[in-house]
Structure 1
Amino acid sequence: MSRDGSQGLTIIAFIGSVFSPYYAWDLDRDPFDHCAMNVVLYGRPGRFCMTERGRAALSRYAAAIRIGPSAMEWDGTSLTIRIDEVGAPLPARVRGTVRLHPPGITDGSFTLDAIGAHRWWPMAPSSPVEVELEEPSLRWSGTAYLDTNHGDTALEEAFASWTWCRADLGDGAAILYDVRRRDGSGQNLSLRFDRHGTRRDIRPPLAALLPATGLWRIPRSTRSDDGAARVLRTFEDTPFYARSLLASTLGGEPVQAVHESLSLTRFRNPLVRLMLPFRMPRRAG
């Protein structure tokens, strides 16, 4: 997110693209044949890129990954992401470089399901970032969040829904993760980290209701110190996923938080999966 909140960027490297209809329809369930570099640019102009590629387009090394024309590389202190993607259904290009400088890395991962098949590691909750895009022509700096997820089963088999929220604090960041599992159980994580990745205590926030999204009526909720929060902006409103910017209070500080709400019950609907290829084209390489 840029310092003034006017621009935002999400980048996800997928091996075994969890939201891919092609992966769901593949009887072999080969994750290496379903890779994508998902790039979403928020603000003006907006872009959505998620081209799925086969195993021939994937290269992996100890400190780098390349998927098609885009790549990520870690040099021991910084993560450099080189983007060269084309959006869909409108073929608008996103090309440029993002440099993330984590001041520290957190201790390790959290298990999200009851049997340990899904792990989430919020590696660097608050890091300086520099964004330099050539197409479209944009430059900004701000703070970024870096995490990684690993799963041994499909998300929709383990979870019914979740909400996730991350906010910068004066000395680091707060992250809230509320998971609702398919078996009816749940897990609530309320985490606080300083800028070097050390975990700190946080008072358990209170549940805060939010309005559903305008178009697809995705349910939204979060947590805050006083049980109140406001939606400042809805970045994405899709049949099963919403991404928003909230105003709330966490750790005793007024914050602007990036929030996501995911309904995997909706994602399981075959009609929803039939809609996805319009935004997620597939190429062999």
Structure 2
Amino acid sequence: MSEDGRQGLTIIAFIGSVFSPYYAWDASRDPFDHCAVNVVLYGERANRFCMTERGRGSLSRDAAGIRIGPSAMAWDGTALTVTLDEVTAPIPSRVRGTVRLYPGGITPGPFTLDAHGQHRWWPMAPSSPVEVDLSEPGLRWRGTAYFDTNHGDAPLADAFTRWTWCRADLSDGAAILYDVHRRDGSGQNLSLRFDRTGARRDISPPLAAALPPTRFWRVPRSTRSDDARAAVVRTFEDTPFYARSLLSAKLAGEAVRPVHESLSLDRFRNPLVRLMLPFRMPRRT
């Protein structure tokens, strides 16, 4: 995830696309047959969303990289280079170009999110320099990026009912908040702070702060802030089960603009919601 204050870019490579209706409907549950590169560009005037699912024949990977269809990620020991060539849906347009992320250090990890150890999350490089160079649309900027990985051995909706997550740049590194609500009624609240080398630093757990639901789908949102006050600056995504927003809050004593996510897995389980997803998430074999 990268942003420069006026525009933002999110890239996720999936093996076993967790929000795929095709994966949910597949009796074989073969994760390698449900791969995708999700690319979302947020601009000052318009957004672009790409998430074309592909089968195992479109996947190749080794210790240094992964390719899914026409897009790829490669690690050379210093930089992660992402080469993008994706098409938006439902109205086709291109997102094409190169993104280079330079981690200053790798954090300790991962963190286990559920009670049985089936879901792991690792914020590997929470605050790293990034260079974005897109030929379509023509955009170029340098900023700060966030890089993490997730691994799971079971469907997310079996373990969780909902969660909220946010990440904010600090003067030296980043703060991350992750509040998980499990299906067994328990929960986990993570308040994390890392400097630019990836070293973990102390942070006082912020106070609960209310947020309004999204305007159209009324997705519930909440977060935490040092002074129990936060505001929505912009809503990037307002979908039936997921919202992504830009907030104004206070963390680790600093005024920050966190990128915030709110996910309802109870809503995602709804069969009508899954029938809507191919509209934005086409599949190519």
Q: TM-score, normalised by structure 1?
A: 0.99
The one-letter code matched in structure 1 to 2:76 is: D
RMSD of Structure 2 on Structure 1 (CA): 0.6
Deviation for aligned residue 1:2: 3.5
Secondary structure at 1:259 match in 2:
strand
Q: What does residue 240 of structure 2 align with?
A: 239
Q: What does residue 12 of structure 1 align with?
A: 12
Deviation for aligned residue 1:107: 1.1
Specify every segment of 5 or more residues in structure 1 that has no aligned partner in the other structure, as ranges: none
Secondary structure at 2:260 match in 1:
strand
1:275 aligns with 2:285: no
Secondary structure at 1:108 match in 2:
coil
> For each residue in 1:111-142, what CA deviation from the matched residue of structure 2 results, as whole angstroms up to 9, or x when unmatched?
00001000000000000111000000001111
Equivalences for 1:112-191 in 2 at 5 Å?
112-191=113-192
Secondary structure at 2:276 match in 1:
helix
1:254 aligns with 2:255: yes
Q: What does residue 230 of structure 1 align with?
A: 231
Deviation for aligned residue 1:63: 1.0
Q: What does residue 53 of structure 1 align with?
A: 54
Q: What does residue 71 of structure 1 align with?
A: 72
> For each residue in 1:24-77, what CA deviation from the matched residue of structure 2 results, as whole angstroms up to 9, or x when unmatched?
000000000000000000113310000000000000110100000000000001
The one-letter code matched in structure 2 to 1:214 is: R
Q: What does residue 37 of structure 1 align with?
A: 37
1: CA distance, partners of 2:253 / 2:46: 34
Q: What does residue 198 of structure 1 align with?
A: 199
Q: What does residue 208 of structure 2 align with?
A: 207
> For each residue in 1:76-130, what CA deviation from the matched residue of structure 2 results, as whole angstroms up to 9, or x when unmatched?
0110000000000010110000000010000110000001000000000000111
1: CA distance, partners of 2:234 / 2:129: 23
1:90 aligns with 2:91: yes
> Which aligned segments of 4 or more residues in structure 1 are displaced greater than 3 angstroms?
none
Q: Is the 8 A contact 1:89 1:279 kept in 2?
A: yes
2: CA distance, partners of 1:54 / 1:147: 24
Specify every segment of 5 or more residues in structure 2 that has no aligned partner in the other structure, as ranges: none
2: CA distance, partners of 1:63 / 1:118: 23
Q: TM-score, normalised by structure 2?
A: 0.99
Deviation for aligned residue 1:162: 0.2
The one-letter code matched in structure 2 to 1:25 is: W
1: CA distance, partners of 2:97 / 2:172: 30
